[in-house]
């Protein structure tokens, strides 16, 4: 069977600056895969290209169809959802409104209501703050809201761009626990993280993106044993 997501020789440039210089990767349905790499390596660029938010060359195939010519809203309709870097909530809107925005392309009202109940079970703290302005919540609560909003789009492939960014260690752990929980529902997840140790708690394999190229890829166990990964990303000499 073909992978759910298959990327071949993906190239993205901003003006003359080549950022992705031929990236290839594949995700099987139900896999939880990480993209790690230093600041500026192109992780966000990769996720944005998949989401149709950045023009790209090469091939991004989703469920067998080339999607890098599609506008972003068509990609959302395919249930390929990006939970963006730094959350991008609507801070003036209530928590409830933010969650509803996640379902803005859907017309299945009864199912939306059911999904809302489900995400509130997953994130009880949000249920207690449904009428609060999103911008008044703590960083951790806002990140949970961002993940919950993405779930309201009923993702088949959920891409999370640095969900632990700026959070305290315990809150980071809580976010990862949630990912472990949602992966059990059979979602396919692509997680970009700078906190490699943390990412390795949630993913089964990872791609290491450096200077616009995938330099190393493999199972979490093999990466944990890789000398370069140990030194550069795990702080182990
Ligand atoms: N819209 C843009 N226009 C020009 N250059 C950009 C744009 N977006 C990103 N870049 C540049 O592309 C490179 C890759 O950025 P990107 O945000 O993809 O990296 P990243 O791996 O996500 O980094 P971080 O870990 O800091 O989030 C950086 O050098 C960045 O300055
Ligand atoms: Mg980034």
> What is the tens place of the pLDDT at every residue in 38-49?
999 999 999 999
Q: Which atom of ligand 1 is nearest to the CA of 54?
A: 1
CB 32 within 8 A of CB 204: yes
- C-alpha 47 – ligand 2 centre gap (Å): 9
Ligand 1 lined by 42 (C-beta under 6 Å): yes
CA distance linking residue 94 with residue 104, whole number of Å: 15
How many residues does the structure list for the chain? 237
CATH of domain 1-79+155-237: 3.40.50.300
Q: What does the DSSP 8-state code read for residue 94? A: B
Which has the closest alpha carbon to 82: 186, 191, 181? 191
pLDDT in tens, 174-233: 888 888 888 888 899 999 998 899 999 999 999 999 999 999 999 999 999 999 999 999
CB 85 within 8 A of CB 146: no
Q: Which residues, 6+ apart, have CB-to-CB distance to 49 below 8 Å?
A: 10, 12, 20, 55, 56, 60, 68
Q: Which ligand is closest in space to the CA of residue 13?
A: 1
CB 154 within 8 A of CB 105: no
Which residues are in the CB-under-5-Å shell of ion ligand 2? 43-44, 85
Ligand 1 lined by 164 (C-beta under 6 Å): no
Rounded to two decimals, what is the model's pTM? 0.94
Which sequence spans correspond to the domains of the chain?
A: 1-79+155-237, 86-154
Which of 19-28, 148-157, 178-187, 218-227 shows the lowest mean pLDDT across its residues? Answer: 178-187
């Amino acid at each position: 069977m073909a992978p759910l997501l298959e990327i071949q020789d993906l190239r993205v440039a901003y003006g003359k600056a080549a950022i992705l210089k031929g990236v290839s990767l594949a995700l099987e349905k139900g896999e939880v895969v990480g993209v790690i790499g230093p600041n500026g390596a192109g992780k966000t660029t990769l996720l944005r290209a998949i989401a149709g938010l950045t023009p790209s060359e090469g091939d991004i195939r989703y469920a067998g169809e080339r999607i890098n010519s599609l506008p972003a809203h068509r990609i959302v309709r395919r249930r390929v959802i990006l939970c963006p870097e730094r959350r991008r909530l609507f801070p003036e809107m209530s928590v409830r409104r933010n969650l509803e925005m996640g379902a803005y392309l859907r017309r299945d009202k009864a199912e939306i209501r059911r999904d809302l109940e489900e995400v509130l079970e997953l994130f009880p703290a949000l249920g207690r703050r449904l009428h609060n302005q999103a911008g008044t919540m703590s960083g951790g609560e806002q990140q949970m809201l961002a993940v919950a909003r993405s779930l309201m789009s009923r993702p088949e492939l959920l891409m999370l761009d640095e969900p632990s960014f700026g959070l305290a260690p315990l809150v980071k752990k809580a976010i990862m626990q949630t990912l472990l929980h949602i992966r059990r529902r059979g979602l396919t997840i692509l997680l970009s993280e700078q906190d490699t140790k943390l990412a390795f708690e949630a993913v089964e394999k990872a791609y290491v993106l450096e200077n616009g190229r995938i330099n190393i890829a493999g199972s979490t166990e093999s990466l944990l044993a890789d000398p370069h990964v140990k030194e550069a990303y795990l702080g182990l000499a």
